A and B are shown apart, each in its own frame.
Chain A
């Protein structure tokens, strides 16, 4: 497939996914049992109050019309208004706009941490196959995969904030305050990437072209870091990019643990207050960013490696 067609197809499929995502997010409110008006108004609401909420949420028109209005809210970049009383309150998009950078920063630092730890660990374990270091790294990676996020976060706080006092605790926003939450967000990915790097390196190290490189007298340093790593690193970086979305959703838990501002905190607060337009908006924005990152990773991969375009 030529490059242009590949990119167009990938973009088209991505847009299709986005449309599907918005339909699904819209349907949650309308198909899942439980009347949102009831839950917002409580048992003792008068019919007028109920009607007001219904109007505010736009539930008083037909379903297709509601969906059209929903898409309109996406198109005019307000993502809807808060109910039952939208006056004087920021739009959903404004709320999300304030929260989003915090979550992206957390996810990016988490991603950076995961890659910077995973690559050396995985490469070194592959070079020292079967030694105690390899075993230790494998055990570490498995623990990183198994430990629940919501235990790791509080434990980190306990050690580094309460016991040692080295790093700032919850509710703080300085530059060092991101270290612990980013570590907690990135640990799972770090463990996954370290395992991938190791197996990719082991596979590549057995290839003929490396034997050739060694045979022509290249120093081992060049063989490993230039020839082997270049081939081993591609799938690892791709997976790292594709996992960016799971870092975004992992932030929901970690923001909660560390009482940090962000999309996760906004989403959970909105769920508690039954603020459905905000819930919808948060879910939509997280899913949409995930789709967009995926498209970007796929296109970049297609640019670098022509073999991918055939699929």
Chain B
């Protein structure tokens, strides 16, 4: 348990954790502290494209809506979406990975071939392919599309861990004492999966937000008001407007903040919890 003592964590973990905490706090309280309302009812055509000022810290957009308020509402959307997607992906992936690793043999082989098929879609391609079929994708389908390849990473991590854990003496002892398979899996093996899964969770938070932003940018987003991706899409279309670069930069910085936070925290946790993996990108 020495790993959990304070002071043994790298700066990467601390910086990442603080950045994640800022994101989570703004996601929870952001809409409450936002200085102006957002959405179609907040349109104010007298104040379109306002520059940065004391009343609008980050100016306003093409319909006169306050940029800072949009960012704060966007933080809520991003937090909700990533939590849901990461939660679902982790649950499905870990379960499948544990089954594969524990069963071995044919079951393992079959599951890993399915994993291979999902891995054959690089990057966003799978998400795009799923969202593309529906004219106006709703939020549930959008979440499903993000989970469609999200689970694969968890399955691989969990399988690898279980493959080695199941050969340990203490698991053998539990089996000899007559423990049932579910009991061995959940009582004896699952606790040892927490650390590697935590690393994966941390890394995938950033991925989900980047994927959401990319899909929104391509016009395939969930059609929800003021996601960061939708802001970025709007912002890049008027990057050319003199004195109006900060809008796209603000949304881009928000996305980069979370991706950076997730990477710092994930890398730091991995170094700490699994020293063998140190430095592997």
| Chain A interface residues (CB < 8 Å from chain B) | 13, 16-18, 20-21, 24-25, 28-29, 32-34, 36, 39, 142-143, 145-151, 154-155, 158, 162, 192-193, 195-196, 199-200, 202-203, 239, 245-246, 248-250, 252-253, 256-257, 267-268, 271-272, 274, 276, 279, 283, 286-287, 290-291, 294
Q: A142-B264, A195-B281, A250-B123 are known contacts; what are 12 more A-B pairs with Cβ within 8 Å?
A: A13-B116, A17-B120, A32-B133, A145-B260, A193-B281, A246-B122, A249-B122, A271-B128, A283-B125, A283-B128, A287-B125, A290-B121
**Given A257-B236, A287-B121, A239:B264 Cβ within 8 A:** no
Closest to A16 in B: B113
Of the 9-residue stretches B77-85, B184-192, B251-259, which lies at the interface with chain A?
B251-259
Closest to B209 in A: A148
Give per-residue flags for B196-239: 1 if the beta carbon is below 8 A from chain A beta carbons, else 0: 00000000001000100110011110000000000011001001
Q: DSSP majority for the B interface? A: helix
* Min CB–CB distance B150 → chain A (angstroms): 16
* Min CB–CB distance A12 → chain B (angstroms): 11
Max chain B Cβ within 10 angstroms of own Cβ: one of A32, A257, A291: A32
A-B contact count (CB 8 A): 145
Q: List 10 A-B contacts (CB under 8 A).
A: A16-B116, A20-B113, A20-B116, A196-B280, A199-B280, A246-B122, A253-B214, A257-B236, A271-B128, A286-B122
Give per-residue flags for B236-255: 1 if the beta carbon is below 8 A from chain A beta carbons, else 0: 10011000010011011001
- Cα distance A276–B264 in the bound complex, in angstroms: 40
Closest to A153 in B: B236
Determine if A248 and B128 form an interchain contact, defined as CB atoms under 8 angstroms apart.
no
Closest to A249 in B: B123
Determine if A253 and B218 form an interchain contact, defined as CB atoms under 8 angstroms apart.
yes
Identify which of residues 259-274 in chain B touch chain A, using a CB-to-CB cut-off of 8 Å.
259-260, 263-264
**Given A17-B117, A249-B123, A148:B256 Cβ within 8 A:** yes
Tell me which residues across on chain B come within 8 A of A279, comparing CB atoms.
Answer: 129, 132-133
Report which of B124, B248, B260 forms a contact with A142, defined as CB distance below 8 A: B260
**Given A13-B116, A286-B125, A154:B133 Cβ within 8 A:** no
Determine if A151 and B135 form an interchain contact, defined as CB atoms under 8 angstroms apart.
no
Tell me which residues across on chain A come within 8 A of B255, comparing CB atoms.
Answer: 148, 151
Tell me which residues across on chain A come within 8 A of B240, comparing CB atoms.
Answer: 158, 162
Max chain A Cβ within 10 angstroms of own Cβ: one of B123, B239, B240: B123
